[in-house]
Amino acid sequence: MIDATHVMDVTDENFTAEVIGAELPVLVEFTADWCPPCRQMAPVLRALATEEADRLKVVQLNVDQNPETTNAYKVLSMPTFMVFRGGEPVKAMVGARPKRRLLEELADVI
């Protein structure tokens, strides 16, 4: 059982298993330690992970530590949110946003 109050960290090494191979849609936050808007999103993502645990998996990937995945998806700005469904990216959003807006933007993919 995954602790839904914690947003899982994924890496270049486990991205395929945790994101591409996931049964649920996966919201990936491409983040960085030096990014204030990314830190601002942490409580939003934790709440989302808890409230939507049965419909959505929420993970984060540190772009500085995982350049392979970051480059593969051409991520240039932080935070970038990408939704993967069935192993494919189906939606991308850039920038911090309130939880309500994030949920509205995710409505068509989860």
The dihedral over CA atoms of 6, 58, 56, 22, expressed in degrees to the nearest 10, equals: -110
pLDDT at residue number 5: 57
- The active-site residue, picked from 28, 38, 41, 58, is 38
C-alpha 18: how far from chain center: 11
Rounded distance between C-alpha atoms, residue 93 and residue 108, angstroms: 13
Average pLDDT of the chain to the nearest whole number: 94
| Within-domain flag for 35 | yes
Instruction: Take residue 101 and report the two structure tokens written for it.
Output: 């807006």
Q: Does pTM top 0.85 for this prediction?
A: yes
For residues 46-62, average pLDDT = 96
Instruction: Check pLDDT > 80 for residue 6.
Output: no
| Within-domain flag for 3 | no
Q: For 18, which DSSP code?
A: I
Full domain range(s) for residue 101? 8-106
- The active-site residue, picked from 7, 27, 35, 83, is 35
Work out how many domains the chain is built from and give that number: 1
Q: For 19, which DSSP code?
A: I
| Within-domain flag for 60 | yes
Question: Does 38 participate in catalysis according to the annotation?
Answer: yes
Question: Does 40 participate in catalysis according to the annotation?
Answer: no
